[in-house]
Amino acid sequence: MRYQTKKSFPSDFLWGASTSAYQVEGAYLEDGKSPSIIDMYEHPKDTADFKIASDHYHRYKEDIKLFAEMGMKAYRFSIAWTRIIPDGTGSINEPGVAYYRDMIAECRKYGIEPIVTMYHFDLPYCLEEKGGWNNRDTIDAFVNYAETLFELYGKEVRYWLTINEQNTMILHPGAIGLPKGGKLPTKKELYQQNHHMMLAQARVMKLFHTMVPDGKIGPALNLTAMYPATCKPEDAIAAHNWEAIRCWNFADVPVFGTYHPLAFAYMQDRNIEPEILPGDMDILKGANPDFIAMNYYSTATIAASRNDGSDVAARAGDQQIMLGEEGIYRPEENPYVEKTKYGWVIDPVGFRYTLRKVYERYHLPILVTENGIGAPDILEDGKIHDDYRIDFLEKHLEQMKLAITDGVEMLGYCPWSAIDVVSTHQGYQKRYGFIYVDRDEFDLKEMKRYPKDSYYWYQKVIAENGESL
C-alpha cells in the first residue's frame, strides 16, 4: 500500500536499546551472586565466557551516562535472579538488591525509562540441579522471585517483561549452551518445561496487576512471519505450520489463555504434549498482558516437507539452531532478501509484515525489544565506522514507520544492543552495540568505551523522533 501521508512516531515513543545481565554485567560470582545455568553450561572454548563480559556491573554509571548522551528514552536490561535470591528461593541478597536499585536510580536521573526483563535464559543453577523447569516447584520459585522484584522495584519500574524468548528456549535449547555432558532434554520434556513456564508467567502477570496497578507487563518472544516458498498450496500450509508451532502458540497462551489448536494437535500427534493437571487451564486464563514485546531479526521462507530425511538444516553459522522439522516443514532460500556475513537473512519489509500480523492477531501495543545486526566491528584511531549497522537499523525503522501508518500501535524500539555484549556463540567476534567495548576474546585491555558511528546516527534519529527517516 502506498500512502499519501505517513504517520509520525508517537510523541512518547520509547527510543531505547537492550542488554541482558549475563551478557553485559560480568562479576558472575561477585557480591553474593550464585551461578546460573548460563555460567555452568558448556559453550564454545574459543570465545569469551561470561565471567567479566563487558563489566557493566562496575561501569554502569559510565555506560548509562553514554546512553543518556545518545538520547535514549528507555533502557531494557534484565535482572539476574541469581543476584537477588542466590539459592533460587529463600533469603534475599542485599548487595544484588542494591545494585539494581542503583541502576534504576541512575536511569531515572537521566530521564531514561527502565524496562526490566525478569528472566533472560539464566535460571539459578541450584534450581536446575533440582530439575529446573521440569520441576513444578520452579513455578512457585519464579512467582516468589517475581513478587520480590515487584516489592523492591514496583514503584520505580513501569515496564516489565516476564520471560525472554521462551520459544527459543523450547525450540532451540542448545542455543543457550549445553548441559554438562552435552545431553539436551527430549521434546516431551521441553514442552513440559514450556507448560510450567506458561503457568509461572500467568501467575506472575496476575500478581503484577495486583501489586503494580499502574505498571505494564508482557511476554518477550521471538516472533517472525513466514513466507511460503511458492504459491503452491502445500507450501502455504507448511508456512502456517511454522507460524502456529513456533510463534503463535507461545503468544496465544499468555494472551488468550489457551494453546493454539494446530500446535496442540501437532504435540498430541507426536506424543510430546505436556501433562496438564486439573486447574492448570484456569491458571492460564486471565493473565491479560498489557503489550507484546517482540524480538525480530529476520524472516524465513518455508516449503512443504519432503519427509525424506532432508527437512532439517542448521541455521547458517550456528549448528545449535536447527531449522525445519521432518514431516512438518522445511526451510528454503529466498532470492529476494539480503544476508549478513553470518548467513542471517536481512529483511526489513518482513519486519513490517510481522508487526502487522502480530498486531492483527493480538490487538495489543508492541514494544520491540531486540533487533540488530552482528558484525566484527573494527576499532581504528578511536573510531568504529559501522555503516552496515546504520543501514540495517534505518531500513527497519522506515518499515516500522510504515507499520505505524498501517495502524499498528507501537510503544517503543529497543534494538540489540545498547553496548557490545558477549554473544552466546561468537563471543566478541560478533558485536551488536552502539558503543564499542575495547576488549578481545581473552585480552581484556582497558575495556574502554567508544561510541560508534551508529551511536551518533541514532542520537540524531531520537532527537528528531524519527522524522527524517
Catalytic residues: 165, 370
77: helix, strand or coil: strand
Give CA–CA dist 241/232, Å, rounded.
15
Q: Long-range contacts of range 442-451, CB-CB < 8 Å, 24 or more positions apart?
A: 442/48, 444/52, 447/54, 447/55, 447/59, 449/59, 449/62, 449/63, 449/66, 449/419, 450/379, 450/382, 450/383, 450/384, 451/66, 451/70
Identify any residues that bridge with 113 across adjacent strands, giving them in sequence order: 74
Is 85 within 8 Å of 145 (Cβ atoms)?
Answer: yes
Radius of gyration (C-alpha) of the chain in whole angstroms: 21
Is 392 within 8 Å of 263 (Cβ atoms)?
Answer: no
Give CA–CA dist 354/399, Å, rounded.
11
Query: What cell was used for 259?
Result: 494453546
Give CA–CA dist 70/366, Å, rounded.
23
Q: Cβ of 318: how many Cβ atoms within 10 Å?
A: 18
Q: How far, in Å, are 102, 405, 433 from residue 108 at the CA level?
A: 10, 31, 22
Give CA–CA dist 298/320, Å, rounded.
17
SS3 sequence, 311-326?
Answer: CCEEECCEEEEEECEC
> Does the bond joining 298 to the residue before it have cis omega, within 30 degrees of 0?
no
